[in-house]
Amino acid sequence: VKNVVVKPLCKEQMIPTVNGSLPGPTINVREGDTLVVHVINNSTYNITIHWHGVFQLKSSWMDGANMISQCPIQPRNNFTYRFDITGQEGTLLWHAHVVNLRATLHGALIIRPRSGRPYPFPKPYKEVPLVFEQWWDTDIELLNSRPAPISDAYLINGLAGDSYPCSKNRMFKLRVVQGKTYLLRIINAALNTHLFFKIADHNVTVVSVDAVYTTTYVSDVMILTPGQTVDALLTADQPNGMYYMEISPYTSANSLVPVPPSTPIRGLIVYEDAKSTASPSNSLMPSGMNAISTAHRFSSNITSLVGGPYWTPMPDHVDEKMFVTMGLGLNPCPPGTKCIGPFGQRYAGSLNNRTFVIPGTISLQEAYFYNISGVYTDDFPDQPPMKFDYANFSVRTESDYEMMFPERKTSIKTLKFNSTVEIVVQNTGIITPESHPMHLHGFNFYVLGYGFGNYDPIRDARKLNLLNPQMHNTVGVPPGGWVVLRFKANNPGAWMFHCHMDAHLPYGIIMVFIVQNGPTPETSLQPPPSNLPQCTRDPTIYESLATSVDLSS
């Protein structure tokens, strides 16, 4: 990791990169491989690298969640990530897990089938990673010190395209042969923005989402939340010519939240016999940046490939049921400080009216493993503290106003090993309703259903898909709506569940599950590696922890 100078638009910027490139290098593996990545931090930032969507079975110390699974790799230090790729195929991503550094520290992680094992769809002529990014024409230090301001542009594989000044000749181009089929491995690496994607005059066939195979779904447009991935087949079946591919931001919040730029971000599909003087065919994106119905239609039409590779039937019995409200809130403005949030306060975020406070001196998983008190509390509630009209919140009483100020606490939820957990995630209208992409580390979860308004356990339960729900690691919760998730807690360790908009990490839209040990050493949290990064330079602090190891469940 080192700082380099790049110039996607008109201004040179010094940014942290991996191996000097934006996006970072694509990592190619096969299912069953052991992946070893040496991270040498020659930048000026504290760094962790998260392997977004990788299960990390028996390797939770390698998850790369800053201050949850590890302390950061400090400047002029290094750390080696080593873990097995087990039971997964498809497209994932890797990225920094320190606030805002994901903007430039990210790349594709492609997991292909074991040698000799085919895809569950016809073999494509070529595979093409497409990484969507946000770009700021400002010093990365400013992004690192506060929630990121509105971005100046979006990029496709590091290129802004012909809609922006100084980049008209720097556009991503995919050259295709008429009649051939291409596997697009699409990644939304943007920090804070859901993105629509469309190719002029072409449909695509979705075959995988979040590295889980799907029933084939033909669409002319798709939506990806930050952190989501889609594998889609594109057949070059149109007349020879050039066709724009385009991404555009999707925003569902009201005017309290800054609106991203609406300038189209374009790449180009170029047929091999296309005339160089031909004008590209334009795509017709959904009308308006808040095309909620288009986003909902795409997400709700994705279903699992029953019987496909690594498919497992959804558990019928549920051991733990949770109802989790989420959204923005307020944090009191310190005396003598001017704050920009509503009512002159600071923005906050919460799950069940709890703002998560990231530990500051030791990682949460180390505190759990070594049985250190005072780092977190095991009291995250299964229900919100008060019932209200979640989707249509308004301040009418003093108690309504107080509800806007969540409790700040490092609270976790303990789960028994192998228990089945069902969560209704209810979006609220406190401050503003908007779609939040919720990401769970260490697991995939079944998405049983989406809806708008307040979740009704009788009416809406009848609509849930219990036959072939798609599995995800990241899901967009509809604005003013809900999503129902279910997963098997079969991976011991401390796992984040959080909004994947980086601006919302410092707001505290986070919770942590601690999955207890199973009955055998193979199903128990392993000791941390000896070279795990330390939060302190004083090694005696860590040496004193070794006497407190408790591997019991």
Residue 310 falls inside a structural domain: no
Residue 122 falls inside a structural domain: yes
**Structural domain of residue 50, as residue ranges?**
2-300
CA atoms of 553 and 25, how far apart (whole Å): 40
Our count of domains for the chain comes to 2
CA atoms of 420 and 407, how far apart (whole Å): 28
Residue 517 falls inside a structural domain: yes
Residue 234 falls inside a structural domain: yes
- Kindly state whether residues 259 and 334 are assigned to the same domain: no
- Kindly state whether residues 253 and 364 are assigned to the same domain: no
Report pLDDT for 550: 31
Q: Which pair of tokens denotes residue 339?
A: 């704050």
CA atoms of 301 and 499, how far apart (whole Å): 22
Question: Backbone phi, then psi, for 149, in 5-degree steps?
Answer: -70, 180
CATH of the domain at 141: 2.60.40.420
- Kindly state whether residues 274 and 339 are assigned to the same domain: no
Q: Which pair of tokens denotes residue 109?
A: 């992680």
CA atoms of 525 and 528, how far apart (whole Å): 9
CB 545 within 8 A of CB 370: yes
CB 154 within 8 A of CB 267: no
Picking from 268, 300, 332, the residue at the C-terminal end of a domain is 300
- Kindly state whether residues 296 and 374 are assigned to the same domain: no
Report pLDDT for 139: 73
Residue 312 falls inside a structural domain: no
- Kindly state whether residues 206 and 82 are assigned to the same domain: yes
State the DSSP code for 387.
-
- Kindly state whether residues 429 and 296 are assigned to the same domain: no
- Kindly state whether residues 208 and 335 are assigned to the same domain: no
CB 323 within 8 A of CB 383: yes
Picking from 251, 266, 300, the residue at the C-terminal end of a domain is 300
CA atoms of 418 and 517, how far apart (whole Å): 9
Residue 307 falls inside a structural domain: no
> Which residues make Cβ contacts (< 8 Å) with residue 26, sequence separation at least 6?
107, 108, 109, 110, 129
pLDDT in tens, the chain (553 residues): 999 999 888 888 899 999 999 999 999 999 999 999 999 999 999 999 999 999 999 999 999 999 999 999 999 999 999 999 999 999 999 999 998 899 999 999 999 999 999 999 999 999 999 999 999 887 766 665 555 678 889 999 999 999 888 888 889 999 999 999 999 999 999 999 999 999 999 999 999 999 999 999 999 999 999 999 999 999 999 999 999 999 999 887 665 555 666 678 999 999 998 888 778 988 777 655 568 889 999 999 999 999 999 999 999 999 999 999 999 999 999 888 888 788 889 989 999 999 999 999 999 999 999 999 999 999 999 999 999 999 888 776 777 778 899 999 999 999 999 999 999 999 998 888 889 999 999 999 999 999 999 999 999 999 999 999 999 999 999 999 999 999 999 999 999 999 999 989 999 999 999 999 999 999 999 999 999 999 975 444 434 443 333 322 2
> Which residues make Cβ contacts (< 8 Å) with residue 96, sequence separation at least 6?
16, 47, 48, 49, 50, 102, 105, 106
- Kindly state whether residues 95 and 220 are assigned to the same domain: yes
Residue 238 falls inside a structural domain: yes
Residue 553 falls inside a structural domain: no
Q: Which pair of tokens denotes residue 307?
A: 């019987």
- Kindly state whether residues 432 and 541 are assigned to the same domain: yes
- Kindly state whether residues 291 and 336 are assigned to the same domain: no
Whole-prediction pTM: 0.94
- Kindly state whether residues 392 and 523 are assigned to the same domain: yes
CB 179 within 8 A of CB 223: no
